[in-house]
Amino acid sequence: MKPKSPVRWGILACGEIAHEFAAALKNCPDSVLHAVSSRDVKRAQAFADEYEAPRVYGSYEAMLADAEVEAVYIATLHPFHLEWIARCVRAGKHVLCEKPLTMNLRQAKQAKKLADDNRCLLREAFMYRHHPQTERVVELVSSGVIGKVRMIEANFCYNSGEQPESRLQSKALGGGAILDIGCYTMSFARLIAGRANGRLFAEPLELKAVGYLDPKTKTDMWTTAVMRFEGDILAQTTCALKMNRENVAVILGDKGRITVEMPWHCPGTIRIELDEKGSVQEIAMPKLRPLFAYEIDSFTNEMRGRPIAADAVAMRFDDTLGNMKALDWWRAEIGLGYEADAVR
Would you state the pLDDT for residue 2? 53
Tell me the per-residue pLDDT of 9-38, one tens digit each, with 9 for 90 and over.
Answer: 999 999 999 999 999 999 999 999 999 999
Domain stop point among 93, 108, 126:
126
Provide the mean pLDDT of the chain.
Answer: 96
In a domain, 249, yes or no: yes
In a domain, 2, yes or no: no
Tell me the per-residue pLDDT of 155-204, one tens digit each, with 9 for 90 and over.
Answer: 999 999 999 999 999 999 999 999 999 999 999 999 999 999 999 999 99
Whether residues 86 and 208 fall in one domain: no
Q: Burial, 334: exposed, middle or buried (Cβ in 10 Å; 0-12, 13-18, 19+)?
A: middle
Lowest-pLDDT range of 129-133, 144-148, 275-279, 299-303: 275-279
In a domain, 141, yes or no: yes
Q: Which pTM does this prediction carry?
A: 0.96
Backbone angles phi, psi at 139, to 5 degrees: -60, -40
- Before 79, cis peptide (omega within 30)? no
Whether residues 25 and 97 fall in one domain: yes
- Mean pLDDT confidence for 85-112: 98
Would you state the pLDDT for residue 276? 85
Domain stop point among 82, 105, 126:
126
Whether residues 52 and 200 fall in one domain: no
Whether residues 30 and 50 fall in one domain: yes
- Mean pLDDT confidence for 195-219: 97
Would you state the pLDDT for residue 277? 80
Residue 309 CA to residue 325 CA, distance in Å, equals 24
Tell me the per-residue pLDDT of 234-245, one tens digit each, with 9 for 90 and over.
Answer: 999 999 999 999
In the chain, DSSP finds a helix count (H) and a strand count (E) of 11, 14
Enclosing domain of residue 43? 7-126
In a domain, 269, yes or no: yes
In a domain, 91, yes or no: yes
Tell me the per-residue pLDDT of 52-74, one tens digit each, with 9 for 90 and over.
Answer: 999 999 999 999 999 999 999 99
Percentage of residues in the chain having pLDDT higher than 90:
97
In a domain, 1, yes or no: no
Would you state the pLDDT for residue 295? 97
Task: Say whether pLDDT at 75 is over 60.
Answer: yes
Residue 36 CA to residue 24 CA, distance in Å, equals 15
Domain count, the chain: 2
Instruction: Give the C-alpha distances (Å, rounded to integers) separating 292 from 6, 75, 168.
Output: 17, 13, 21
Whether residues 79 and 29 fall in one domain: yes
Beta bridge partners, 228, equal 206, 234
Task: Say whether pLDDT at 301 is over 70.
Answer: yes
Domain stop point among 126, 154, 180:
126
Whether residues 50 and 141 fall in one domain: no
CATH code, domain with 167 = 3.30.360.10
Question: Three-state SS for 340?
Answer: helix
Which DSSP symbol is given to 130? G
Residue 157 CA to residue 159 CA, distance in Å, equals 7
CATH code, domain with 116 = 3.40.50.720
Whether residues 308 and 224 fall in one domain: yes
Whether residues 332 and 216 fall in one domain: yes
- Mean pLDDT confidence for 265-286: 94
In a domain, 84, yes or no: yes
In a domain, 195, yes or no: yes
Task: Say whether pLDDT at 107 is over 70.
Answer: yes
Whether residues 338 and 265 fall in one domain: yes
Beta bridge partners, 128, equal none
Whether residues 58 and 188 fall in one domain: no
Tell me the per-residue pLDDT of 175-187, one tens digit each, with 9 for 90 and over.
Answer: 999 999 999 999 9
Whether residues 205 and 310 fall in one domain: yes
Whether residues 327 and 256 fall in one domain: yes
